[in-house]
Amino acid sequence: MAAVKRFYPHIAFLAITFSVIAVVVGQIVPDPYLDPMNVTVSEYAVADRGGVTELGMAILGLGSFVLLAGLRAAGAPIKGLPQWLLGVWSGALIVAAAVPTTPIGMDMSTTALIHRYVSVAAFVSLPAAAALLVPRFSADARWKPIARTMEWLALAGGLGVLAIAYVAMPGDRVLIGLVERVLLGAEVAVLGVLAAWLVRLAWGKRVQILTYHKFLTN
């Protein structure tokens, strides 16, 4: 099991990278007449005949679970509410990928309502987790180097949540696609920073072990 844990950071980083590529490809392929400025990623996913967008969302959710496991294994200061919020984000993404929304112009179905609520849970939980991690990272020597970055990303995510809440309700969906993509960009950046730093810590630890082993054998 210990051997598997060593690969958590790399698996998480690769999963996040793959999911971003898959979702971007899914935005290009479905329908040239869909306007990304006013159509959400979920609506693109419905029009994605190959299921690339849903696959990307599912992989991102699974990768986020692996990232969470990696953070726990590395002793990151995430215990309590932050780890639960990261778990909500991960699970909500997988459910959103498995339960699609309705196509544009059709009445809202039960599955579409489920998709909407889990999407809201995902959008809110990750910026909240990032905000809670900022003071913890600031107080931890190993994680302090990324505390300021997390602070800016948490702020961007929080503002993004407020913006999408406005455009989805009183804003009459004006530029909802653009707002959602900016929000998702900030949230994926949170995952990317965590995964990249976890990889760096893992490699740093490995170098220390190899150096110590070489010292003992000389």
Q: What is the pLDDT of residue 146?
A: 96
CB 86 within 8 A of CB 129: yes
Q: Where are the domains of the chain?
A: 2-217
pLDDT, tens digit (0-9, with 9 covering 90-100), for 127-185: 999 999 999 999 999 999 999 999 999 999 999 999 999 998 888 888 888 999 999 99
Those residues with Cβ within 8 angstroms of residue 203's Cβ, 6 or more apart along the chain or in another chain? none
pLDDT over 70 at 211, yes or no:
no
pLDDT, tens digit (0-9, with 9 covering 90-100), for 45-75: 777 655 788 889 999 999 999 999 999 999 9
Q: What is the pLDDT of residue 174?
A: 87
Q: In the 8-state DSSP scheme, what is residue 106?
A: S
**Which residue shows structure tokens 């040239």?**
32
Q: Which two tokens stand for residue 120?
A: 């809201």
Q: Which two tokens stand for residue 62?
A: 């699974």
Q: What is the pLDDT of residue 136?
A: 97
pLDDT, tens digit (0-9, with 9 covering 90-100), for 71-80: 999 999 999 9
Q: What is the pLDDT of residue 213?
A: 39
d(CA 96, CA 103): 14
pLDDT over 60 at 216, yes or no:
no
CB 137 within 8 A of CB 146: yes
Looking at 1-5, 98-102, 188-192, 207-211, which range is the least confident one?
207-211
Q: What is the pLDDT of residue 206?
A: 46
Q: What is the pLDDT of residue 171?
A: 81
Percentage of residues in the chain having pLDDT higher than 90: 55
Q: Which two tokens stand for residue 134?
A: 């900022």
CB 192 within 8 A of CB 153: no
- Across 85-94, average pLDDT: 96
